[in-house]
Amino acid sequence: MSNLKNNFIESIGNTPLIKLQAASEITGCNIYGKAEYLNPGGSVKDRAALALLKDAQEKKLISKGGIVVEGTAGNTGIGLCLLGNSLGYETIIVMNDNQTQEKKDTLKNIGAKLKLVPAKPFKDDGNYVKVAKRLATELSSTNNHGVVFANQFDNTANSKGHFETTGPEIWDQTNGKIDGFICASGTGGTISGVSRYLKEKNKDVKIYLSDPSGSALYNYIINGELKSEGGSITEGIGSSRITANFAEAKIDGAFSINDHESLPLLYDLIKNEGLSLGTSCGVNIAGAIKLGKELGPGKTIVTILCDKSDKYNSKMFNKAFLKEKGLPFPEWI
């Protein structure tokens, strides 16, 4: 009975580290992926959802019957909705209409109210995060149990959640013998919280950002300029701005990763290692391999396995879509 969990909240976190065989072999390092897809809502974002809702509860902004509003690429919405269901909150999600149908269906099927908007840059008033914030303000007078804008990008309760859970778990699981940590940034919550914890334990742990093509963060880390080039089919990662969560991250360097590098790694992991991972994991693992080559053999490197491939079937396993974009596809589809 030692692994008994009483509810949804208790089953978030304490995910295993899985050794990535091919990535480790290529680099001579021990490269581990933290299996965040095993969280109850299926992604790393369950941790952010929990941290944001805890923050709202502590600030007495919401009670049973209240409403949570958020702008999300999907995973945070899934976490917030499932968690909200378990706590008696209603969930309203604003999402870009270019995200996969799988994520839209999942959100609807678990009872979230879904508002889809066309993708717009952050500076535009129609940007999904801005729409979510306005909606929360508009609804605030309609519910006396509280209407909360979760604000995953700029509420640093998000990165605090990773500082308090993901970071310590990684430190303990590697017995403090960790040389490098790398992951991509969406809100920046994961890289900020984990980097701050690991650097506090050992300032020599190297923290790298793995940034998808089309994101401005790689150039920001390398030469201080928010500038983007190209694009990517990945979802939930990359940014055109420095969020409050990302601003706190302690980062030593960055790699820019394109879909041609990341997708074959994901297909190989399915075929050879039985790991069926989502698109952001490909960026994380490609980055981990680059970091392994940079740090040299014998090092221990950890990255994040954010979610599974099932949310991206219509992209990752859609031959016509991939061919049209000139991207690699698995031989078995």
Alpha-carbon gap, residue 80 to 90, rounded angstroms: 9
Buried b / exposed e across 153-177, counting CB within 10 Å, b at 16+?
Answer: bbbbbbbbbbbebbbbbbbebbeee
Per CB under 6 A, the segment of 17-25, 61-69, 138-146, 178-186 that binds ligand PMP is 178-186
Q: How far is the CB of 162 from ligand PMP (least distance, A)?
A: 7
Residues between 184 and 203 with contacts to ligand PMP, criterion CB under 6 A: 184-190
Q: Residue 26's Cα: distance from chain center in Å?
A: 25
Q: Does 307 bind ligand PMP (CB under 6 A)?
A: yes
Q: Which of 306, 316, 322, 327 binds ligand PMP (CB under 6 A)?
A: 306
Alpha-carbon gap, residue 276 to 258, rounded angstroms: 19
Of 45, 104, 160, 308, which one is the catalytic site residue? 45
Q: How far is the CB of 188 from ligand PMP (least distance, A)?
A: 5
Exposed/middle/buried for 141, CB within 10 Å: 0-12, 13-18, 19+?
Answer: exposed
Per CB under 6 A, the segment of 50-58, 168-176, 181-189, 324-332 that binds ligand PMP is 181-189
Any idea which residue has 């609807």 for tokens?
108
List the beta strands (DSSP E) in 172-299: 180-183, 206-212, 253-257
Q: Determine whether 45 is an active site residue.
A: yes
Residue nearest to ligand PMP (CB): 236
Write the binding mask 107 to 126 for ligand PMP: x where contact by CB under 6 A, - elsewhere: --------------------
Q: How far is the CB of 237 from ligand PMP (least distance, A)?
A: 5
Q: How far is CA 239 from CA 24, 210, 219, 278, 284, in A?
A: 29, 12, 11, 18, 15
Residues between 44 and 103 with contacts to ligand PMP, criterion CB under 6 A: 44-45, 73, 75
| CB distance 210 to 255 below 8 Å | yes
Residue 58, both tokens: 């502590």
Residue type, 235: E
Residues between 34 and 53 with contacts to ligand PMP, criterion CB under 6 A: 43-45
Which residues have a catalytic role annotated?
45
Which residues contact ligand PMP (rule: CB under 6 A)? 43-45, 73, 75, 184-190, 236-237, 278, 280, 306-307
